[in-house]
A = this chain, B = another copy of it.
Amino acid sequence: MQNSDFISLAHGAGGLLSQQLIREEFMPLLAATDQPLNDAAVVSVGDMRLAFTTDSFVVSPLFFPGGDIGSLAVYGTVNDLAMMGAEPRFLSLALVVEEGFPRADLHQIVGSVAQAAQQVGVPIVTGDTKVVQRGGADGLFANTSGLGVVYEQVQVDPRRVEVGDAILINGSIGDHGIAVMCAREELEVAGEVLSDSAPLAALVKEMIAALGPQVHALRDPTRGGLAATLNEIAQQAQVTVEIRQESIAIKPQVSAICEILGLDPLHVANEGKVVAFVAAEAAQQALSTMKSSPLGLGQQSSIIGEVIAAGPPQVRLQTAIGTTRIVDMPSGELLPRIC
């Protein structure tokens, strides 16, 4: 049998092979529902629009600088709801635990879930626990699903992205992926890198309150990083986007580790960042709203680029030295198990 007859780590990495797997196996499943491939589904129940999403978390190690699987699972799903222009309302929590897993670690993880849920004001209302025999799973996997209510008179959808839109992000990229990888490989680096794992719902709420329908698209650049997110939106909107390297913040330690390991920071996962596409005339207001948002999660926001043309999807990067290069959809393994 060919290699393609088996699932590889790259199928889960958020890049080209992930897209292929989704297209080949899962799109037929979703086809009946008219749901585009976004962070969450938007469904109608009665006269309400609800956002509904699910995410499994297999991050290794379970505890990493700046977070753990518990808070990550809460923030990750809350963020996916926020990216649809929804107010997160309820979460579920399902754990798969390996026989022999320390009760103390379980207690700490559940405590972290509780604390994160309380912080964002979104309760865990239902749950499930399964135990598999020793060797049947790697410690603990978590799944959170979430339910949110889409803000009225708002339609956040990549298909609304248009030429001229400004592209913003609320801070530096690559922190989460590098923090988890350093923890996993026990890399000693000067100046520890912390995960940026954080809840974005309050920031999104303020943006929507300030800008309303001028917010065209929101996405959190997790697996596959900023490169995957921009390529996905370019594909869905059928546009060319151009970003400026000098406007994209990267922490010196993150940059250094990426260089050593041959990673492109544009491909590295974030867990507390939102990429926003807003109408050109709203760009400055979006920037100031993000910068002054609660929790300080947007202090380092910047306008990183624009949508420059309609037509075949493409992501272009103006480099610091004045050249332009194409930013492709990531391919290959990247960083496995970072979320």
Contacts and interface: CB of A to CB of B under 8 A. Distances in A.
A262 B28 CA distance: 45
Contacts of A54: 92-94, 126-128, 143, 145
A32 to B, nearest CB: 6
A161 to B, nearest CB: 21
B35 A110 contact: no
Q: Please give me the 3 A-B residue pairs with the lowest Cβ-Cβ distance, nearest first.
A: A12-B131, A145-B145, A54-B92
Contact of A336 (B29, B101, B106, B131): B131
Interface string A1-38: 00011111111110000100110011011101101000
B97 A127 contact: no
* Stoichiometry (number of copies): 2
A41 B123 CA distance: 11
Interface string A135-176: 111100101010101000000000000000000000000000
Interface in A65-122: 89-90, 92-104, 106-107, 110, 113-114, 117-118
B52 A125 contact: yes
A40 interface: yes
Which among A35, A124, A145 has the greatest number of chain B C-beta atoms within 10 A?
A145
Contacts of A43: 89-90, 125, 147
